[in-house]
A and B are shown apart, each in its own frame.
Chain A
Amino acid sequence: MARVGVFVCWCGSNIARTVDVQRVAEAARRIPGVVFSTDYKYMCSEPGQTMVRDAIREHRLDRVVVASCSPRLHEPTFQRCIAEAGLNPYLVEMANIREHCSWVHQDREAATEKAIDLVRMAVAKARRDFPLFRNEIPITKRALVIGGGVAGIQAALDIADAGYPVTLVERTPSIGGRMAQYDKTFPTLDCAACILTPKMVDCASHPNITILTYAEVEEVSGFVGNFTVRIRRRARGVDMEKCTGCGVCYSKCPVKVPNEFEEGMGERRAIYVPFPQAVPNVPVIDRQHCRLNNGLKCGVCQKLCPTGAIAYDQEDEVITGQFGAIVVATGFKMWDHSQIGEYGYGGIPDVISGLQFERLMNASGPTEGKIVRPSDHRPPKTVVFVACVGSRSENHGHEYCSKVCCMYTAKHALLLKEKYPDTQAYVFYMDIRANGKGYEEFVRRTIEEYGAHYIRGRVSRIYRHGDRVVVKGADTLLGRPVEIDADLVVLATAMEPQDDAKELARRLGISTDQHNWFSEAHPKLKPVEVLSSGIYLAGACQYPKDIPDTVAQASGAASKVAGLFSKPHLLSEPMIASVREEDCVACGQCVRVCPFSAIELVDVNGKNGASRRAARVNEGLCHGCGTCVAGCRGSCIDLRGFTNAQVLSEIDALALA
């Protein structure tokens, strides 16, 4: 006969305000199998845990029920606690009387009754708990970093510096990401390239880092410590070993196409490096636009290449690698403002995005740093900046704040006034969100020292009138409509997840929020982890972030990886499915329903030495979701720690009370 102890937590007033905890403890004492019960203000505190341990010894408890918060929060705490008292850690049950009870109810009487029911169920289950044990799993100590922007670069460098090999996969021809496109960075006005390119070079030269550019992750299988990843390295058309980066090929290529790196404002060739400091400094042939690939006569680059590096017939390479951990750092994209009718559906040439303005200001940009209007290449006399374009807007599908626009808009206005003091700069804003180190001071400087006109209000219309752009809006502080004849309008457009974020999440088996940002495991306490272990997030693929936040999170992800790799091995989760092979008829239903491909049909020894088929669970892959248990027609699969008998006893305890 089990000897169960019940410990009811007040959680300060979180539970005690709505639930009569003393009554719950008293009621618990009358439940069959319970030999001890008590209540305490904070059961998770050290005195609370000591109370549990003491009670185990004093009352010879062999099962423990803690009625407190969600097991997601403190189950590990109490597992450790009872292990210290000599019990198997899987002999504790959590009755969630906070999230499932006190927080969602107001009626004290009813909530108390419900809490007693929850405790009764937990006791019924605890009485059928049995000890579970964890197995050792080896770890492949090589990390995969997906995305070669500043987040991926930082994560790769930190993991490599900790002594572990890293593969950095980047989709475009060069690492560097968005940050490589920026001009200067707020609030210090450091040149983005000057602080980023040394890190890019460090990555390229680090003995522990392998960079795969022009490559994408195609398939991910396995589990923490043992991921198998298939990576497709697209054909570059250039032999990386032979190329010296001299640049003759792209200086002579006859094809010109809009340059993505310049946000469409400049041109590149069909064979190109995206920007001068590219790493690796090896061009790629854009097969969509290459003349030769489109059946036209050409071959100029091949004729001119002094080292014979051009390889038109190069094919995609598929690389399959083993990794112990994955850092996802795939970044964001800018929302396309052509969806805003009020601002001209993207059809007004002198209405540009913030990122385009960034390229205009950049000394290595399409205008060599001269700020001119795209329509007629004249320097603008009046520039209007509009913040929150698409952000904080339910209409445009982004209820969230894109977080960096207030700051880069201030930076744009400041740099504009610094370069061209006679130019008028107007900034339309909703609120100024300058909550970082030195940020508020930076905005004040833009307004007070540089004389940018900040107007609090939304812009309702932008239209062309002659060769000017009319911006109509409201000054909500003066309560007046405003109309500005501008030469150039810069829209701080919303940040969005990459188009294929959802697809990558599916491949990785991680979740996304309603906007397709990757979801962290806990918004406060596990901001770097995802719910699947061994996968970590860095940078703006999770939510809009500025560079310091991105770099900090990347280092956080790297330290999680290093922490994982510093262990000799992993311990498996014991709450997984197990098959009673003697009852299994090998129908294969569990194989079909398993979302983690963790079950297969294998040959087992049947009666009289004959061989027969039966389902078997791969303990490394099983997440313990229980789908197979529900699917099994013969009820011959059980989830350890959540057996059918245990779950039914909980229901009985509720129904028969």
Chain B
Amino acid sequence: MDGERVYAYYPGCSLHATAKEYDLSARAVCSALGVELREVPDWNCCGASSAHARDHLLGVALAARNLALVEEMGMREVAVPCAACYNRLAVAGRELQDDGSLAAEVREMLGRPLEGSAKARALLDVVVRDVGAERIRDAVKRPLEGLKVACYYGCLLVRPPRALGTEERVEDPQSLDELVRALGGEPVEWPHKTECCGAGLSLARTDVVRTLSANILKMARDCGAGCVVCACPLCMTNLDMRQAESLKAAGEDFSMPVLYFTELMGLAMGLPGAGRWLKMHFVDASAVTCREGAAARQEEPC
């Protein structure tokens, strides 16, 4: 192993609540890959959801405080599993860099130094780019042979490209696909990688959310996927928790397991506890471990 990688870790509110399994699986997978995550002490809201929509300055300042805490830890990069948190921290970081007077105002509000040296990284990006497909492949014990996966990036991982400075093809990102291939699975070609799941209207207009989420799930099925893998707790909520009502409203009768990419990694890497994470989902995801990959994994009990 070529030296341990250390990152600050910003779980965000979801990973301490609705997306507990994302947090558990992220920590387990990183630890297995020799990536040390140090949780940012006393972190606060990233500014997503209401804050940045109501008050731009507040949105930036909330994100900036977290970045300042990362600086205080003496760290340069903070790994962020939630796509919405990542987006807020990365976009705010860029805004602070580009706008000196905004940075000064925020520093004043925070009452702490803020150099701008800390950079937000999506956990997915850390895993795929920094750890790399090769080391992941080496860590796989139970390749996901025969598992067709719809890689769902959602809207926030790669947009807006200029602010995030992403290397991905914005309308057809590849990092999750690359990861699934490294795990031995087969990413399906599908057009809805970055379609909106409706998270912005999650509470206000559930009818819109249902339609949008159903569209994504139907497209995944039509393109032959056995499961959807995502990297965002909000996507997960809409695609997993609301799945039954969404599909019912759309007149459909099927179910589609939805997993965090870290869970899929945990399964492929044979990490203990992977079964427990999946139990926290609404749609039965154990089907992924039993049905699709069973033959390849020598009939191991799940």
Measured CB to CB, the residues of A under 8 A from B are 341-342, 344-345, 461, 463-466, 470
Contact indicator A342/B191 (Cβ below 8 Å): no
Whether B191 contacts A341 by the Cβ 8 Å rule is no
Q: Mark B154-193, 1 if CB is under 8 A from A, else 0.
A: 0000000000000001111000000000000000000110
Interface contact B222-A466, CB-CB below 8 Å = yes
Q: What's the least CB distance linking A373 to chain B, in Å?
A: 18
B287: chain A residues at CB < 8 Å are none
Choice from B172, B192, B219, B222 contacting A345 with Cβ under 8 Å: B172
1/0 per residue B33-58: CB within 8 Å of A? 00000000000000000000000000
Closest to B189 in A: A464
Residues of A within 8 A of B169 (CB): 341, 345
Tell whether, in the assembled complex, residue A341 and residue B170 are in contact, meaning their CB atoms are under 8 Å apart: yes
Which A residues touch B172, using CB under 8 A? 341, 344-345
- Residues of B close to A464: CB separation below 8 A: 191
Question: Interface centre among A342, A344, A463, by most B CB within 10 Å?
Answer: A463
Q: Which residue of B lies closest to A347 (CB)?
A: B172
The residues of B that contact A463 with a CB separation of less than 8 Å are 191-192
Q: Report Cα–Cα, A342/B192, bound state, in Å.
A: 11
- For the complex formed, measure the closest distance between the CB of A592 and the CB atoms of chain B, giving whole angstroms: 42
A341 and B171 contacting across the interface, CB-CB below 8 Å: yes
**Can you list 15 contacts pairing A with B, beta carbon distance less than 8 Å?**
A341-B169, A341-B170, A341-B172, A344-B171, A344-B191, A345-B169, A345-B171, A345-B172, A461-B191, A463-B191, A463-B192, A464-B191, A465-B219, A466-B222, A470-B191
A345 to B168, CA, bound (A): 13
Is the Cβ of A465 less than 8 Å from the Cβ of B191?
yes
Cβ contact within 8 Å between B222 and A465: yes
Question: In whole angstroms, what is the CA distance A618 to B171 when docked?
Answer: 58
Report the separation of the CA atoms of residues A587 and B169 in the bound assembly, to the nearest whole angstrom.
55
Interface residues on B, range: under 10
Known: A341-B169, A461-B191, A465-B219. 17 other contacts (CB 8 A): A341-B170, A341-B171, A341-B172, A342-B171, A344-B171, A344-B172, A344-B191, A345-B169, A345-B171, A345-B172, A463-B191, A463-B192, A464-B191, A465-B191, A465-B222, A466-B222, A470-B191
A345 to chain B, nearest CB (A): 6
In the complex, which residues 205-253 of chain B have their Cβ closer than 8 Å to any Cβ of chain A?
A: 219, 222
Q: How far is the CA of A464 from the CA of B219 in the complex (A)?
A: 11
With both chains docked as a complex, state the minimum distance between the C-beta of B252 and any C-beta of chain A, in angstroms. 16
Closest to B161 in A: A341
Q: Which residues of B contact A342 (CB under 8 A)?
A: 171
- 7 nearest CB pairs, A to B: A341-B171, A463-B191, A341-B170, A342-B171, A341-B169, A341-B172, A345-B172
Give complex CA distance A466, B189 in Å. Answer: 11
Closest A residue by C-beta to B218? A465
CB-CB < 8 A to A344: which residues of B? Answer: 171-172, 191
How many Å lie between the Cα of A341 and that of B191 in the bound state? 11
Closest to B223 in A: A465
> B219 to chain A: which residues have CB within 8 Å?
465
Query: How many Å lie between the Cα of A463 and that of B172 in the bound state?
Result: 11
| Chain B residues within 8 Å of A470, by CB | 191
Nearest CB on B from A389, distance (A): 14
* Chain A residues with CB under 8 A of B192: 463
Cβ of B55 to closest chain A Cβ, rounded Å: 29
CA distance A341 to B171 in the complex (A): 5
**Chain B nearest CB, measured from A340 CB (Å):** 8
- In the assembled complex, the CB of B191 is this many whole angstroms from the nearest CB of chain A, namely 3
Measured between beta carbons, the chain A residues less than 8 angstroms from B171 are: 341-342, 344-345
- Residue ID in chain A nearest B194 by CB atoms: A341
In the bound complex, what is the Cα–Cα distance between A609 and B170 (angstroms)?
76
Which residues of A lie under 8 Å from residue B191 when comparing CB positions?
A: 344, 461, 463-465, 470
Inter-chain CA distance A253–B222, complex, in Å, is 45
A91 to B221, CA, bound (A): 84
Q: How far is the CA of A345 from the CA of B193 in the complex (A)?
A: 14
B176 to chain A, nearest CB (A): 16
Within the complex, what minimum Cβ distance (angstroms) separates B159 from chain A? 11
Interface centre among A342, A465, A470 (most CB of B within 10 A): A465
Rounded to whole Å, the gap between the CB of A396 and the closest CB of chain B is 13
* A461: B residues at CB distance < 8 A: 191
CA–CA, A353 and B170, complex, Å: 22
**A465–B219 alpha-carbon span in the complex (Å):** 8
**Nearest-CB distance from B184 to chain A (Å)?**
25
A344 and B193 alpha carbons, distance in the complex (Å) = 12
In angstroms, Cα B191 to Cα A470, docked, is 10
In the bound complex, what is the Cα–Cα distance between A344 and B192 (angstroms)?
A: 11
A341 cross-chain contacts in B, Cβ below 8 A? 169-172
A159 CB, min distance to chain B CBs, angstroms: 49
Q: Within 8 Å CB of A345, what residues of B?
A: 169, 171-172
One digit per residue, 1 when the CB lies within 8 angstroms of any chain A CB and 0 when it does not, for chain B 241-284 equals 00000000000000000000000000000000000000000000
Determine the residue in chain A with the shortest Cβ distance to B193. A463
Give complex CA distance A345, B222 in Å: 21
Would you give the shortest CB distance from B6 to chain A, in whole angstroms?
34
Output the nearest chain A residue to B158 by Cβ-Cβ distance: A341
Chain A residues with CB under 8 A of B222: 465-466
CB distance from A483 to the nearest CB of B (A): 10
Q: Which of B170, B191, B222 has the most CB of A within 10 A?
A: B191
Q: Bound state CA distance, A73 and B151, in angstroms?
A: 63
